[in-house]
Chains A and B, each alone.
Chain A
Amino acid sequence: MIAEAGLAALWLAAALAVLQLGVAIAGDRLGDLRRIVVPVAVAQGLLTLFAFAMLIWLFLITDLSVQLVAANSHSDKPWIYRFSGTWGNHEGSMLLWVTVLAAAGAALAIFERRLPAKAMQATLGAQAALAIGFFGFLLIASNPFARLNPAPLQGQGLNPLLQDPGLAFHPPTLYLGYVGLSVAFSLAVGALITRDVGPALARAMRPWVLGAWVLLTIGIVAGSYWAYYELGWGGWWFWDPVENASLMPWLAATALLHSVNVLAARGGLRAWTIMLAVVAFSMSMIGTFLVRSGILTSVHSFAVDPERGSFILMLLLVYIGGALGLFAMRIGSVREGAQFDPVSREGALVANNLILTVILGTVFVGTLYPLFVEAVSGEKMSVGPPYFNAVTGPLTLILALLLFIGPLLRWRRDSRPNLRRIAAPVMATVLTFALSFAVWPAMSALARLGFAVAAGLAIASFLPLAGRNLRRTPLTIWGMVISHLGIAVAIAGAASDAALTKETLVAAAPGEVHRVGPWQIRFNGVDPVAGPNWTAVEGHLVATRGDRAVRLDPQSRFFSDPPTETNEAAILTTWDGQLYTVIGHQEGNRWQLRLWWKPIVTFIWLGGGLIALGGLLALIGRLFREGRRRRGATEAQEAFA
């Protein structure tokens, strides 16, 4: 019954989406009836949430008569993995996607009050059109509630790599971010339909972009850390197609986040902002498609299913092709926004947008290049980190340099920017660069520049606070400062990981001592251990530095359902870095040990966290100001009445 209730709710929600689109198209011809578009959007959101809750329930009770549960779950699993198993598979994750899409539409219908009625209708129509396609995909090609008759006695289990608490929250966070961008997309499409692109649109769009961007940032940072400690490879970014699929919408959203401010504050960059809003969610859809269709080879391997792939490709064709086509047709008639000089806040933001777009293009081309080459010449090839790092590394540093001056420029025109204000960060950059030759004679130029720029930016990011009363500084400014500081911190971490990591790879016999960086590591042998659904070989290491000694117990785990082997790295975090240890296979009476000392590697995720925190502060600041403005407006109305 639970499965059937979920399925019925899904069909109902799909029908409501059709109704919502119909009402939006008919528009004024319906008279007052057109107002039902809001309750319809809300009901659609609630029904989809209900369906998703039903699927979670089925997974929690391990109802093996449901095909999806039987294929992906196992009653022996701890409850948290039965719970997260709901979205650790194709159908469940698509249902999560649709749930977020419908819930975002409902939230838009409830909370957005400033947009003119016409634009609102068009926007909700666009959101419904998006929902219809994905409901169709779920119900026709990936029904999560399909039954299995007869029911098997036991389920097949979840991929052990995915049995990690981090995974319970990583995909939902990313999906909230991905799909949160759908609202920006719908707002842009609505604006193109009504030919009404202006500051009101930007103010309506801004909190959505900010919120989605914060979640995407958290999702990417968490995913990066998860890959770092769970895969046992010691790396934090692999340029895997699936990672790129999450990075591309983030890059577009980062650009959009900045350009939407220009539109809101100055009425400029109209066409560009609309384009970015369309591109950001298009990248989310393309990313989801690339992951879900298995078109590109990746660690996140999902089976290639041409039928499902063709279905989503058709959806992409309609939505992205439609939006870009509408853009090309309509944007000519959108009034140009306010003009500005090249040296101005707007000018700096345009430069930021261009560089982010170039990085986005680079990642897009690199990710799809193997596919293009094979389509044209039949040659198989792969594009790896050397390409991505060579292009994105320097561009990121240029972007960071731009942050020294950009936030200090005036709007519209800054004919004589006060360059003395950035003297301190420039000095810090030059000094760090010069000193680095003394401290680390052999280091790649990129890492050296990375440290130098990070040092400068760490100071420069605080400059917008100079001369302000800190108590009265708006939260949005604090948000910007913290995010930009986060970039400096993350760059320092990445440069350190690239240039200063020490690695020791040995086959160690019990009793031996090996050295990595400042640590002496004594190998004391291994013991077998068993967990709820795995057995493992656990190595015993004692790491000493000075008079400090710490035990580390890395494991090599063997899961029985399905049979898989994973590495559980043992990681010691200190104030100045991480000691990362992995145990491998046995060779006679020796065991393979992989030991890394990674100075300040944690700065990568710390910086990522600061970037997200800054976004969150800016969002709170905006919503707070918005609430006050709205209360003020009602009070003013009451006073007039």
Chain B
Amino acid sequence: MNRKLWLALPLIVFALFVLAVGWRLSSPPDPTVKSRMIGKPVPEFALPAALPAKPALASADLRRQGPRLVNLFASWCVPCIAEAPVLLDLKNRGVAIDGIAIRDTPTDIQRFLADHGDPFQRMGDDKASQVQMAFGSAGVPESFVVDASGVIRFQHVGPIMPQDVPTILAELEKAR
């Protein structure tokens, strides 16, 4: 290599460093983990019922009467409490919502629903987070829009807040 290029090499490396770091400073990192399952059929699963009074949830149920919103929640999850009234609002607007309780117990779920309302049609009990991981979810709460043919169309990470409702409704409309 010629000498000129050698002399400029550190400068070039430094310029690359500045570009990468400048990019990071201008676009702070997005801490959410996006699921790789978006656009793919829901994973096969058949969860037991979380509550005796509520029907259980299996992948076959999601393939039938879509589009549906699948909400991953837990009674021990504080942001889930913040999300609860918004889910009730969505239910009142005619959205079909199914729940998956993550690492929870029937008594705790019962109390949680009594305190914060029950928007769910069906509910599966995911004691070991296996279905959660199959969905590509990294935490609670998370919600997935599943279309009429059973394909995951949209993932919402974190609690659904009132300002998120239009997006969720639009995604459900698209999935029809």
Contacts and interface: CB of A to CB of B under 8 A. Distances in A.
Interface string B11-22: 101111111111
Contacts, number: 56
Given A375-B19, A375-B24, 12 more contacts: A271-B7, A275-B10, A289-B21, A293-B21, A295-B24, A304-B28, A309-B25, A327-B7, A328-B8, A328-B11, A371-B24, A372-B20
Contacts of A304: 28-29
A97 B176 CA distance: 60
Contacts of B11: 321, 324-325, 328
A298 interface: no
A488 to B, nearest CB: 32
Interface string B24-53: 111011000000000000000000000000
Interface stretch (A154-162, A228-236, A312-320, A520-528): A312-320
Interface residues of B, number: 20
Given A304-B28, A328-B8, A320 B14 contact: yes
A594 to B, nearest CB: 24
Given A320-B14, A324-B14, A295 B7 contact: no
Contacts of A310: 25
Contacts of B17: 286, 368
B10 A279 contact: yes
Nearest to A275: B10
Nearest to B12: A324
Given A286-B17, A316-B18, A372-B20, A293 B25 contact: yes
A351 interface: no
Interface in A372-396: 372, 374-375
A317 B25 contact: no
Contact of B20 (A278, A289, A327, A371): A371
Contacts of A332: 7
Interface string A295-315: 100000000101001100100
Contact of A295 (B16, B19, B25): B25
A608 to B, nearest CB: 28
Chain A, interface size: which category?
20 to 34
A271 to B, nearest CB: 8
A331 interface: yes
Contacts of B10: 275, 278-279, 324, 327
B25 A306 contact: yes
A390 to B, nearest CB: 22
Contacts of A331: 7
Q: For the complex, would chain A's binding face be called helix, strand, loop or mixed by DSSP majority?
A: helix
Interface of A: 271, 275, 278-279, 282, 286, 289, 293, 295, 304, 306, 309-310, 313, 316-317, 320-321, 324-325, 327-328, 331-332, 364, 368, 371-372, 374-375
A306 B7 contact: no
A328 B3 CA distance: 10
Nearest to B15: A321
A201 B105 CA distance: 74
A286 B16 CA distance: 13
Interface of B: 7-8, 10-11, 13-26, 28-29
Contacts of A368: 17, 20
Contacts of A374: 24, 29
A281 to B, nearest CB: 13
A32 to B, nearest CB: 38
A534 to B, nearest CB: 26
Contacts of B7: 271, 327-328, 331-332
A368 B23 CA distance: 13
B20 A313 contact: no
Contacts of A286: 17
A317 B18 contact: yes
Nearest to B8: A328
A546 B105 CA distance: 50
A381 B146 CA distance: 28
Contacts of B26: 306
Nearest to B18: A317
A313 B14 contact: no
Nearest to A306: B25
A309 B25 CA distance: 7
Nearest to A279: B10
A313 B19 CA distance: 10
B23 A313 contact: no
Contacts of B18: 313, 316-317, 321
Contacts of B21: 289, 293, 295, 309, 313, 371
Contacts of B15: 321
A364 B22 CA distance: 17
A320 B16 CA distance: 13
Contacts of B29: 304, 374
A469 B17 CA distance: 51
Contacts of A289: 21
A279 B11 CA distance: 11
A332 B8 CA distance: 12
A375 B20 contact: yes
3 nearest A-B pairs in the assembled complex, by CB-CB distance: A324-B11, A375-B23, A328-B7
Given A286-B17, A304-B28, A321-B14, A313 B8 contact: no
Nearest to B17: A368
A295 B23 CA distance: 10
Nearest to A330: B7
Contacts of A295: 21, 24-25
A342 to B, nearest CB: 18
Nearest to A316: B18
Nearest to A290: B21
A316 B18 CA distance: 9
Contacts of A325: 11
A313 B22 contact: yes
13 contacts: A271-B7, A310-B25, A313-B18, A313-B22, A316-B18, A321-B11, A321-B18, A327-B7, A372-B20, A374-B24, A375-B19, A375-B20, A375-B24
Nearest to A325: B11
Contacts of A271: 7
B4 to A, nearest CB: 8
A277 B28 CA distance: 33
Contacts of B22: 313
Nearest to A313: B21
A605 to B, nearest CB: 32
Contact of A313 (B13, B25, B28): B25
Contacts of A316: 18
